[in-house]
Amino acid sequence: MVTSAADQAAEALGTAAPVDPPPPGDTRTDTAPAPRATVAPARVGGDPARTAGIALGDVLPAPMDVRPDPGADFTLTADTAIGAAPAARDAAEQLAALLRPATGHPLPVVTDPTAGRVTLALADPGLGPEGYRLEITPARVRLTAATPAGLGHGVQTLRQLLPAAVEAPTPVPARWVLPGGTITDRPRYAYRGAMLDVARHFFGVPDVLRVVDHLARYKLNHLHLHLTDDQGWRIAVDAWPRLATVGGATQVGGGPGGWYSQADYRRIVGYAARRHVTVVPEIDLPGHVNAALTAYGRLAPDGVAPPPYTGTEVGFSHLDPARESTYAFVADVLGEVAALTPGPYLHIGGDEAFKVPADAYAGFVDRAQRIVADTGKTVLGWHQIAPAAHQPGRVLQYWGREATDPVVADAVRRGAKLVMSPADRTYLDMRYAPDDPFGHDWAGAIDVHRAYDWDPAGYLTDVPAEAVLGVAAPLWTEYVTSRDELERMLLPRLPAIAELGWSPRSGHDWAGFRRRLAGQAARWDTAGVGYHRSPEVPWPTGTAPAPRTPVD
């Protein structure tokens, strides 16, 4: 895809350029049109009167340990410099870039850590690869971590401790005060993420980068991209060019679709990596492949290319597990995607292959897992791949709604690990309430309380807690067509999932969480971020303008 100058400038600021208007002629004749989401848009600029009252613990997700010192507040001023040794300089530059627009302060980054009143240092505080320690005194702010990822998470905490007006894109007259004390923090789980389906409706690079920003803000560290499905193939593969040019040329409702060139994909991966977010690409196999079969009819079981599919049914398409040529195709595709992806995981999907007999399905998954291993990656798949032979390190993503799953439990006994994505708790495409006109409801309505009030380690009663690597929230896009709708479904539920993944279970507290979540409204308003004003959250009055008129 072509990257505009506006998109490039937006990326440099850590934001995303305005979304393009919908293309003309999108008639959506084969499915009922989905209702458009009403989103609370932002008031940009910040209110200097709303700059006080932030406590050291008013952070999402909740830190592990908070020790306030009410007499030790620090004030950021025009002469404040940020000191960082070379290994910590990138985190310092990102901090400065976040704070300069609203404060109007130059905030120079100096390589002598002793020269800045705000200092970042790589030093092991004994908090693991993502932990950090933040110490705030009247004279100095000191952030330490063992790794750049830990520093990055600490930067996001520091950002949330400043007044909400810090999210403004232009200077705001305010006192930039950080509450005094010490935060010692580390995550509960190593895998904390969200999935974005770009196959049902295509989202361009700027929208994906904006999602990365949302993940990084709340210390989520994996972005799972659902790149292929019946409605569209979204990643260019040099060995099979028609996958993108033909298979990527449509989407649900018959719109123009789109795809990422390999340069686009590298841009997403690089942007995410700088924010300590690992991209997990999914090539859904052996089902959900109508777009691939449309592009290359010889892959179809009957050798005939089906027409493009723009509906929302599932389970009708599949590759032929009996053909050796199928595995040559899989090896080509996974090999190229692996070469583009520095992260450890390749997601092979594996769900809803209803037309493939069980034995043939298990054999296909076994071969696909070994192909992934040959690329040097670790296989990740939806929990339907559980019956296949175990591949060392493999991870199952559980999206079921049952508390007991003997097949998954057996896979765990054979060595599999789990990422928890139960559909009735984490699926961000579900409605917020039964009477919400927007979103799915097959897994039930998921309000913020329901998204928050569960334990990833205890959801499945027949697997040990140590088998759970973490939690991830999928956002499927059959009915999500724009950036506004995307953000409306992400927020405010995404921070709930983030807190489950990061914060200690012992500190799980709905009352405290909803209060801290309500405090994010002023930040989203100021930053121009859309969200759903869920009624169970005590949003501050007067923080958002009237909702936009829904788009026809």
Query: Are residues 342 and 331 in contact, defined by beta-carbon separation less than 8 angstroms?
Result: no
- 440 three-class SS: strand
Number of H helices, E strands in the chain: 16, 19
- 49 three-class SS: coil
What phi and psi, each to the nearest 5 degrees, are found at residue 125? -90, 10
Burial (CB count <10 Å: 0-12, 13-18, 19+), residue 358: exposed
- Residues 6+ away with beta carbon under 8 Å from 506: none
Q: How far apart are CA 186 and CA 188, in angstroms?
A: 7
H or E element at residue 333: helix 324-340
Q: How far apart are CA 489 and CA 211, in angstroms?
A: 12
What phi and psi, each to the nearest 5 degrees, are found at residue 418? -125, 140
Q: Which of 93, 135, 324, 352 is catalytic?
A: 352
Q: How far apart are CA 360 and CA 113, in angstroms?
A: 60
Buried b (16+ CB within 10 A) or exposed e, 80-105: bbbbbeeebbbbbbbbbebbebbbeb
Query: Are residues 211 and 486 in contact, defined by beta-carbon separation less than 8 angstroms?
Result: yes
DSSP 492-521: THHHHHHHHHHS-GGG--HHHHHHHHHTTH
Query: Are residues 70 and 43 in contact, defined by beta-carbon separation less than 8 angstroms?
Result: no
* Residue carrying structure tokens 């600029």: 45
Closest C-alpha to 70, from 185, 178, 183:
178
The Cα diameter of the chain in Å comes to 75
Q: How far apart are CA 502 and CA 500, in angstroms?
A: 6
Question: Is 352 annotated as catalytic?
Answer: yes
Q: How far apart are CA 43 and CA 527, in angstroms?
A: 8
Give catalytic residue positions.
352
